[in-house]
Every structure is written in C-alpha cells, then in structure tokens.
A and B are shown apart, each in its own frame.
Chain A
Amino acid sequence: MTPAPLHSLPGQVRGRVKATSPRHHILSVLVENKAGVLARVAGLFSRRGFNIYSLAVAPTDEDEHFSRITIVVDVESAPLEQVIMQLDKLVNVVSIGELSPSEAVERELVLVTVAVGPTERSQVIQLVGVFGGEVVSVGADRITVMLAGRPEKIDDFEGLLEHYTVEELQRTGRVALPKLDRH
C-alpha cells in the first residue's frame, strides 16, 4: 500500500481527501519531544500499511517536553482501533485523542504564489480579501497570499484560484482540538 502523499509538494494537491469525507479521522497524538519520535510514528504507519493524509507537529508546552502530532488518517486503510492500538504501543507516545470531524475544530493554513498580470493582480487581492486572507509577499509579476481557516474553506479558496496560474502551493496539514462542551 502506498501512503497518500503529504500535502507538501506543489502539483500534488489534487485528489486529496475533502474535509467532509467520512474516510478520514483525526488523531491528536501527544508525544515526548525527543529525537526520532516523528520517525517512530511515521515508520509505524508505513510498516503497518496505514495511510496518512496529513500530519502536523509542534511542541505543546513551554519546556518543550511534549509535542502534539495531528494526524489525519485514512480509516479505509486500516480500522481506526488498530491504528490507535499500534500507536499506543510506541513508548514515546503519551496519549492519543481521537477526534471525529464532527467533534473537532480543525484549522489549516495555506500559502499560494500566483502569477499575476496587471488585471489579475487586483482580482486575486480581492479574492483574498473576501476569504479573509492576506497578501504576504508581492513581486513584479507574482504575489504570495496566505489563508488560514477550516480545511473546507481552504479547499474552496484553492478551487477558485484554479482560474489563475498557481506557481506554488503549500498547505500545512490540519491541526485540531476537541470542540468544547457548551453546558
């Protein structure tokens, strides 16, 4: 089984899982922030034939003892239960939170460089404004814009940018935390 590509290479963004797809689940994995931990997690997925759609990792506390890895898992490649049980066996994995899309707040960030002529420039800037993104770099014939938000929103934004010449596109992969109880 070939793991789905991580969304890090330009030109490989199509065909990715849509945020509303029932095929994916989000695992929020708290790990010890030690050398090689990411390799242990990624290696487990590859050797057990579990597919990763996206993965984001960063320290969670000031002392940087722990990191949180947010993994979007293809639950058709293996039962979620099995993925969690195998992950839990990694000694450096402290805890695993399972978030179904309906119970989670998910956010993602995208950077896009678009080739723009004089007329397109203002159209793209306008589009970015409508979506609440920002222009982060301006060149003579290109601009780079940024948008953060729900993954579906990023999908829509990306879809609308298809009318222009996208030179490079980089999504972070989603991060997620549980929705809070209102009661």
Chain B
Amino acid sequence: MTGAQALIKSLEMQGVDVMFGLPGGAILPVYDPIIDSSIRHILVRHEQGAGHMAEGYAMATGRPGVAMVTSGPGATNIVTPLANAYMDSTPLIVVSGQVATGSIGTDAFQECDITGVTMGITKHNWLIKDADDIPRVVAAAFHVATTGRPGPVLIDLPKDISNAQMEWYWPSSVDELDLPGYHPVTFGDPVLIGRAVELIARSHRPVFYVGGGVLKARASEALRVLADRTGIPVVTTLMARGAFPDSHPQALGMPGMHGHYTAVAALQKSDLLISLGARFDDRVTGKISAFAPDAKVIHVDIDPAELGKVRIPDVGIAGDVRQVIEEMLLAMDAQADRPVVQDLAPWWRQINEWRERFPLYYEDVEGGPIKPQNVVEQLRDASSEDTIVVAGVGQHQMWASQYWKFEHPYTWVNSGGAGTMGFAVPAAIGAKVGRPDRTVWAIDGDGCFQMTAQELVTASSEQIPVKIAILNNAYLGMVRQWQEMFYEERYSEVYLSPDLPDYVKWAEAMGCVGIKAETPEDVGPAIEKANSIDDRPVVVDFRTDAREKVYPMVAAGSSNDDIVVHPDQLAAR
C-alpha cells in the first residue's frame, strides 16, 4: 500500500473516529484514502480551527484529538493550537504535509521547517523520511501524546513518502516503537507517599490544591474519596474546574488572579498545600516569594520536572496522581489507629468566615444594562449539570469559571496556560463532536468571537449544533480593565463596537440562528429560545455592561495578600 494509505490505516488502528483538517498540495495523497476510511473528517475553514477543535474533542472525551493540515501556511496556522495544547497538556496529534524529501531545504513552494518551528511547543515531533516508518511513528506519536504528562505531537509527512509504496505492518508492543529515551513515570514512591500522609496528619490548615492533572489522570473519583476521608478543603484551578463538585461542602472554588476570595485566602494562610497535578502557575501564586509563606508543600505530579520548578516541595512525588491518591488512602487505612488529620474545626471556622464575608459579588442595578455575570448565572440555572461549558480568554472566561457551578469532570473546556483568544468557538465544536449527547455552550467574548467565528460555517455544514453566548461589551474587556486600573483609564486600542459586525446577521450568514438580547428582560427568553434549538448552531449576542470588571483581583506580580475585592465589599473587609 502507499504511505498515505498506511497513515490513514494507522489512525484507524489507533481507534480514531474523527479528525479535523483542511487539505492542500503536500497532503493531497493522504486525503484520497480518507474517502474510503471509517474516520469522519471535518473540513474546517482555517487550520487554527482544526487544532482547537481537536483540543476541545480531547478535553471533553479524554481521547487524543487528531488534526491534519498541509505544509507551509497550513502547518504554521496550527502552531497556536499546538502551543495551547502544550501549555495545557492536552493530547493532540497533528499530521502535516511536507514538500517532497528532495525539495526540503530548497525553499520550495509551501515549504516550512515545521518540525523546527514546533520543537519547543510539542512533546515530540517526527519528520518521516521512509514510508516504512509510518505505522511505527503513528503508534509512537499516540503513545507519547497520551502517556506520562500528555501533550501535543506533530508528524511531518513529505509528499513523496506518502506516495511511496510500503509493506503494511502494525507494531505489536511498545518495545517496537523505537523510543529508547521515553520512560514516563507512573508509580509514586511509597516511602514518599508515607511521608505525605505523615505531613497531612500533622497539619492544622491543609488545603488540596487541585490542578488539571487530576482530570488528565481521571482521578476525580479518587480525589472525592480522599477529600471525604480527610475533610480537607479543596480548591480547583482554572484547569481543574469540574474535577471536584462545586456543590461539595469542602469546595472553595477557583484560586488565582481572579479566584474566589476564600480559595485565594485558604491557600495563602495554609500550613500545608497538597498540590495534586498543579504546577504553581504565576496566575495562581501571584508573587511567588509571598505565596503561602507558612505552608509546607506536598507536590504530586506525573512530570518530575514540575517538582521544584517554581517552589521546592517538602515532599515531591513523581507519579500518576490517581495512583498516588489511591496509595495515600491505603496508607491512611494502614494507620487506622490514629486520626488522618488534626482537628480542622478552627480552620473551617476561619474559612467559613471568609466565605460569608467575601462571596462572589456584583451589583445588579434595576433597569440597568445586562450584567455579564448575570448572563452566566441565568445560563447556568437553565442548563443541566452535564452541560459542557467552553470559554475563550478574558473577562468572560473568568466570569464563566466563577459563576458556573461545575459538578462533573470534563464539563469545562478552556484555554488556560497559553491564554489563546478565539479558542471557544472551534473548541466547542470539537467538544460537541466528541460528546454529541451533551449540550455544549460556549461563553465567549466579542473580541474572541471575531477571531475564529468562521468555524461556525463548519458547524453549520457538518450539523454540529453548538450554542455560543457572546458577552458583548464592545471592548477587549480584560485589557480595558487593566488600562482602567493600572493605566489611569487611558484606553488604548481596546474599543471594538457593539454592533459592528452585526452578530445576528453574521450568525445567520453562517447558517446559525442569531438572537440578540439588549436588556435584562431579554436574557431569559433568549436563553430559552437558544436551548430550544437543536438542529443548528445558535449565537446569542448579549449586550453587556462594558464598565463591569472582574473581581476579586490580584494584580500581576502582587502578593495574594493584596487581593482586591469589589469596591462595595471593601466596607465589609
């Protein structure tokens, strides 16, 4: 068979059911066998869309997302999704066409050294130079992308290699993948786990600092058991929303720059951080030297390089977080004669006081403009618990994370580490493709929406009925907020306009239903109408208050002790 046929067959062997892509010259041979394949191919309108769709698919399903693009600009257009997936540890497999091997290095038409470009933003990448390598490299790519700390990989396939003949085979074991340097850790050291359990037993103000790794490791259930067993409060980072139910009495919400006050304060005043699959990101820690100054640290991560990268742990455990949690529980069972924690009642009294004094707050004025937070609350209340919520990057993302109540894992899809504007529309499409049984609501900003809205054409033509709520404040809102707070209200290049483009007409032109909500009275009916439509995408243009800011806020580079709450809450402080 040809290399192209071998590539598609290899993807089938990996259980791929859907891929997102856009053909072009160098990848043409591979598009021919797609016609005869069981794999559903979704034709995007821009390669960035293919990448984010594959990410949305992966985040909603836990299975690796697959995207295929051509050489040169096709490949560079998917660089942003690769960088995004790298930051958020999302398993993503990108196949890119490449000019024929004989033309590599000659600046041929649509040539780009994409393995060179993506070296720093992929877990690994391969340039295939022999058609016989195709099945092995595809199997290796899936293995690398999905094991250890997951991440994106790229396979660059020159056109003459996809046209070449090869004899089909399929690697029967990991040993045949030619990965002599790849040995991801999985099992945490039992001695260290024992020491962690000791530290927990001695702490008076412990907090579970839960990151996206808990979702990657499918450890939500185990975490729930550990939390119930210990009674320790739980904060879930932006990447971990849904890993622990927000309705649980021990859930304190999201920590960080725009986190719930109680979550930020609990980390800050803690005497023991039990970090599970989190990486001490600067958006969580604030000024690192002032972060949780009295806390000892237990750091569990599958990537040994995370242990001590930002903060030196007292106990650093490299291992799969689910396995480590299960081992912790066993170690606690083995010491059944003594309590697993100290009396946490004083700690909970302190926490509950914070909860009472500083809940999430915004001012909803009668007859005033639509408050963006209120839109999120009404959407939440009108949606079932298993709704998948997708966000772009900015104010709307923070409000979505703050005001939605996440009850189940894999119901929150967003761009965390990279902060990629324009993520929401394509990621929502990918999530809906992966979970067609679920309602998928993207909560987007007007700035983000304009970056990737064209993929709604893809959604309409492929009959992928996603719902998009644009919190349209006519501004690049987060930048506006920073200019208001830190640049003396000197607004520079942040105004967009509420009605240019006309979002309803634009939505309709793309085959979607367009709805506009201009006053608070319109919000409920607009959501109701959107929820009643299930045969095509829906876009709702919510005209929201442009002056609204995200609170609480820890200014960049500041200590978490200097968290700023809504001005109306200041009196209470």
Interface residues of A (CB under 8 A from B): 31-32, 35-36, 39-40, 43-44, 47, 79, 81-82, 85-86, 88-95
Contact = CB atoms under 8 A, between A and B. Distances in A.
A32 B181 contact: yes
B55 interface: no
A79 B120 contact: no
B572 interface: no
A86 B119 contact: no
A157 B181 CA distance: 40
Interface of B: 115-116, 119-120, 123-124, 127, 144, 179-182, 303-305, 307-309
Contacts of B181: 31-32, 90-95
12 contacts: A39-B116, A40-B119, A43-B119, A43-B120, A82-B305, A85-B304, A86-B305, A89-B123, A91-B123, A91-B181, A93-B181, A95-B181
Contact of A32 (B115, B120, B180, B308): B180
A91 B124 contact: yes
B180 A94 contact: yes
Given A32-B180, A43-B120, A47-B120, A91 B308 contact: no
Nearest to A81: B308
Q: Is the interface of A mostly helix, strand, loop or mixed?
A: mixed
A86 B123 CA distance: 11
B308 A79 contact: yes
A36 B115 contact: yes
Contacts of B180: 32, 94
Contacts of A92: 124, 181
Nearest to B151: A89
Contact of B309 (A82, A88, A94, A95): A82
A17 to B, nearest CB: 24
Contacts of B307: 85
Contacts of B305: 82, 85-86, 88-89
Contacts of B115: 36
B533 to A, nearest CB: 46
Contacts of B119: 36, 39-40, 43
B189 to A, nearest CB: 15
Contacts of A89: 123, 303, 305
Contacts of A79: 308
A93 B182 CA distance: 8
B480 to A, nearest CB: 32
A15 B308 CA distance: 31
Nearest to A83: B305
Nearest to B149: A89
A92 B181 CA distance: 5
Contacts of A35: 127
Nearest to B303: A89
Contact of B182 (A40, A86, A91): A91
A35 B120 CA distance: 16
B185 to A, nearest CB: 10
Nearest to B309: A82
A79 to B, nearest CB: 7
Nearest to A95: B181
B164 to A, nearest CB: 19
Given A32-B181, A91-B123, 15 more contacts: A31-B181, A32-B180, A35-B127, A36-B116, A43-B119, A47-B120, A82-B305, A82-B308, A85-B304, A85-B305, A88-B304, A89-B123, A90-B124, A91-B181, A92-B181
